Structure 1
């Protein structure tokens, strides 16, 4: 491997294999797969903080009020909002789990200065202490408090769900059916844990939100989905019958006439388009498109 795994990380991964009762952990090359998984998580973490303009540091004063992210050697993620007394979210991403274990509170504070390789200690709130810190990243000083909170929340959602996805890739049995992490059931479970609500309430909110979007669309309104984009209706003119080709077989076929009708259109926001363009493209994917 080009990247070097720190000894503390390698020891942690070896302990995972020693205590694991899962079938994947007994397969040949399991430790190498676990190392590769950790490197992918590390790369994702670095890419995300770079995109959000955050800075790495080896230490930080407990009085530093900036928003920050802490990544532990065990792979847990601690998110801290702006301020002396700040909101906190702790996500422990376990193997063979579609939803991370989440501890959240609205008011906590750092009880001690932060140092890489040392534990983080908190006063107030349910989380008192973490395992040793692998990385400490913080928002830049010229970023407004509101924007700092926004960036921390965005990074938290992306990283926790990405880590879960990578874990599932490792632990899914060969030939097993892929589990959909982003189906409605798993998203409800995640949102319930993240916001301290029961799943029934989250389900009702999601259903009501979907009904409102649909209603606005069918009333001919342009419906905003916030940072994702917007929905609208577009008039499709009457279309004459014509000949075409079956996209699968190449055989000639008749495409029937169609009356003028309204058709739903979704337009992605510039933010989503820009983020999609920045995603890394593998050589295999590039070759398939050429």
Structure 2
């Protein structure tokens, strides 16, 4: 029964248990398994897109790092951070679509990170589309010496494909 739930790291399992309370799903093992299946599918989509774009996974993105990034959270949300432009960067947040306590989607052009983006810690903004995310599971940054415009295009394309994929995953969770 718990084929997908068993594939999820323990810290993420604990987080998914908490999401059940705010998702509208019934608090059953079956619902938890559906949520875990969705998380595994999103993680696989994220990994495939970052590999296809030759992005590098890192443990930390310093807040003053000029590169943009794609971030996957414990809850299965996607955060796209544009390249640094002076003191700010664009930021887009796309939630898992099942939670009632966060927006489905939010963006802000002149966002500012409060701290480094670090695995197993939330993304925290002093000014951004959200105040803070759930803990970070993966961070992927563009490799090489791409211009800010090239990074923005790469991140924008990946975000569009991931968002569409995540929406489809959410539909299967809700319909099952």
Unaligned ranges ≥5, structure 1: 174-290
RMSD, matched Cα: 2.4
Deviations 1:96-138 (A, max 9, x none): 99xx722111111222112101112223344332221111111
- Which one is further off, 84-93 or 122-131? 122-131
Residue 9 of structure 1 is matched in structure 2 by: 12
The alignment status of 1:158 with 2:167, answered yes or no, reads: no
Structure 1 pair 7–122 and aligned structure 2 pair: CA distance change class (3 A) = same
Unaligned runs of 5+ in 2: none
| Greater alpha carbon shift after TM alignment, 41-50 vs 66-75 | 66-75
The SS at the match of 1:29 is helix
Deviation of the 1:28 alpha carbon = 6.4
- Larger-gyration structure (1/2): 1
Contact 1:58 1:136 in 2 (8 A): yes
| TM-score of the superposed pair, with normalisation by structure 1 | 0.53
TM-score by length of 2: 0.83
Contact 1:96–1:171 under 8 Å retained in 2: no
Give 1:65 deviation, angstroms: 0.8
Q: 1:140 to 1:55 in 2, by over 3 A?
A: same
| Greater RCO (Cα-Cα under 8 Å, separation 6 or more) | 2
Question: What are the superposed Cα offsets for residues 232-257 of structure 1, whole Å, 9 maximum, x if unpaired?
Answer: xxxxxxxxxxxxxxxxxxxxxxxxxx
How many pairs does the alignment contain? Answer: 169
Contact 2:43–2:72 (CA<8 Å) still a contact in 1? no
TM-superposed deviation, 1:35: 1.9
CA drift of 1:156 comes to 1.0
